[in-house]
Amino acid sequence: MTYPTRAFGTRTATEPLSLFHFVRRSPRADDVVIDILFCGVCHTDIHHSRDDWGRANYPMVPGHEIIGRVSAVGADVTRFAPGDLVGVGCMVDSCQRCGACGKGWEQYCENGSTFTYNGVDRQDGTPTYGGYSERVVVAQGFVLKIPGNLDPAGAAPLLCAGITTYSPLRHWNVGPGTRVAVVGLGGLGHMAIQLAKAMGAEVTLFTRSPGKETDARRLGADHIVLSGDADQMAAVASRFELIIDTVPYAHDLNPYVPTLATGGTLVLVGYLGPIEPTLNTSPMVLKRKAVAGSLIGGIAETQAMLDFCGQHGITADVEMIPIQQINESYERMLRSDVKYRFVIDMASLKAMA
């Protein structure tokens, strides 16, 4: 049984998203069929749909922060049953046999992860289409359980923004007393603050905007530093064991490296591309400081993140939109006009004629 599916997608880099029809595959033995309730809107959706990174495949249906309910399962599925509240994040498959997959790092699969959209199904070669749609069919190994105490709409951004910030916090062993700074208070930054605080860290926000203090403290920040203020920056020199940099565009990293403690690391999670201006390596070499990068997390780590959020009551701050406003939401995201994540109510798609 295949599934005729309605979605919002685009056919070119310059075309706005609009109603798009396609067919979801018949479930394989290990597949879970999910009716989508909510889908978060990520900056990556804009970059891919507009081919900013030169890797777009059209037609494209974006969306990789998916929350829904199971409607059917394949014969070999044991972990899920119809009616379960579940999530699907940025990946729907990996090779499962390389060194990275063996470590639970499917996101770094050496043979290429299969992404939820703008990818190719490794079994039948068909394109993958994302969560701006009525339903999705995904192998059970890449489906996640959503804690019942979390608001489903607020949980959607955890599948990308949440795990993107949780993974480096765990990798660099953040715990009670760790001094963590977060650069930027947007979709990623507001998750990083909540997660780091729940892990017991002392959390500082670096921001260029003086008006962010009230929100930052509400989310859990202990301190706010205006990154354009030389005196404030000097006052936090050599302070932080870890800096999570969530800024999604090219920016100068040099002011932040001196605020790292000896042996500290600045981790880029928001920007892919060349660093400009040139990074001064002197403070890195002299004090064993590092600049690193991090992607999302593997499936086991993503489930651990969801369970952690369930234990601590952590969700994203969201603005709900009907899918008919998706193009407007993209423009608002580019203006940073959202606190802090758009989430599509997929009932708005199902209501369309």
218 in the same domain as 281: yes
CA–CA separation, 241 and 199 (whole Å): 14
Is residue 95 over pLDDT 80? yes
Q: What is the pLDDT of residues 157-177, one digit of tens each?
A: 999 999 999 999 999 999 999
Last residue of a domain, one of 271, 293, 315: 293
Q: Give the orientation angle of helix 299-312 with respect to helix 161-171, to 10 degrees.
A: 100
Q: State how many domains the chain has.
A: 2
CA–CA separation, 134 and 120 (whole Å): 20
346 in the same domain as 208: no
251 in the same domain as 131: no
Q: pTM, whole model, 2 decimals?
A: 0.96
Across the chain, which distance is largest between two alpha carbons, in Å? 65
Last residue of a domain, one of 277, 293, 309: 293
220 in the same domain as 144: no
The closest of 21, 118, 32 to 75, measured between CA atoms, is: 32
Q: What is the pLDDT of residues 236-271, one digit of tens each?
A: 999 999 999 999 989 999 999 999 999 999 999 998
In the prediction, which pLDDT does 327 show? 98
Strand-strand pairing, 318-322 and 290-293: unpaired
148 in the same domain as 82: yes
- Direct distance between the N- and C-terminal alpha carbons of the chain, in angstroms, rounded to an integer: 23
Q: Domain of 30: which CATH number?
A: 3.90.180.10
**Containing domain of residue 324, as a range?**
3-160+297-350
CA–CA separation, 221 and 66 (whole Å): 28
Is residue 353 over pLDDT 80? no
The encoded tokens of residue 351 equal 């209501």
CA 67 to mean position of chain CA atoms: 13
240 in the same domain as 182: yes
